[in-house]
Amino acid sequence: MNDLSDEDFKRLYTFMQEKFGIDLKRKKPLIVSRLSSILESRGYTDFHDYVNDIIQKQDQDMMTTLLNKLTTNYTYFMREESHFDYLENVVMPQLAEKHKNDRLLSIWSAGCSSGEEPYNISMYLLEYFGKLGGNWDTRILATDISQNVLSKAENPKYLPESLEKLPKSWKNKYFVPIEDGYYTVSEELRRNVIFRPFNLMSPIKFKRDFDLIFCRNVMIYFDQPTKDALVKRFYDVTYPGGHLFIGHSEGLTKATCPYTYVKPAIYRRDEK
């Protein structure tokens, strides 16, 4: 197997940057290690022909495999727990007041991976708004660029370890044991999340703007200009008073960020 030449490496990382916003400029060893088996299984004798086909054909199946190999999907329930404390104690009371007439929430989990984040948010929503009475629509939109992880999220199998931080009562209420010690989600939880494929480099055009956007540990793959542009697009579809939650390892540039900083990894669009 030939090594990945500097020229082909540059062509591939430029393509990934422009099409998906993913910055792989310093990831040559990772690309070689993760893609070599793909090349062999598809009958390529070198990286050059593979890179040519990726860029020129833009075959959906090849693209999906490439994304699944090069983006790491690691997540679990109650990740960055302080976010859920703020959601419960600050954001949800605000939403209850704001939507007391229409009872329609608008929440987006952008880059939802295998579903832990949107299901986790949903548990909080169902618990809080279920106690208020009335017919609240608490369904949330969950998107990811990878069809592979979306398929896993829609029909999830979670190891017991990923549920360890959840309250025991929630584990009993929202999860169902299945084969080999795994758990799947209850029908109530499943119905509360709408999964859709979406590339965050695309224009954001959904039916409604959002009260709350979660985009955590996604922008770690993006360079600064790409991140700045995405945050601006998020801002444009966030209702005044709405929030953006990002990962704790992803700081936003104060000079260019249109949101107001609230606390680590939590931002708010000011009221008009």
The pLDDT of residue 229 is: 94
152-194 pLDDT, tens digit each = 999 999 988 889 899 999 999 999 999 888 999 999 999 999 9
Distance CA 224, CA 221 (A): 10
* Half-sphere exposure (Cβ direction) of 104: Cα atoms closer than 13 Å: 5
In degrees to the nearest 10, what's the CA dihedral of 257, 261, 73, 3? 40
Give the tens place of pLDDT for each residue, 49-90.
999 999 998 777 788 788 777 765 556 788 888 999 999 999
Q: Tell me the per-residue pLDDT of 212-256, one tens digit each, with 9 for 90 and over.
A: 999 998 888 788 888 999 999 999 999 999 999 998 878 788 889
End-to-end, the C-alpha distance of the chain in Å comes to 59
Ordered structural domains, the chain, with CATH: 6-70 (1.10.155.10), 81-269 (3.40.50.150)
To the question of pTM greater than 0.95 for the whole model, the response is no
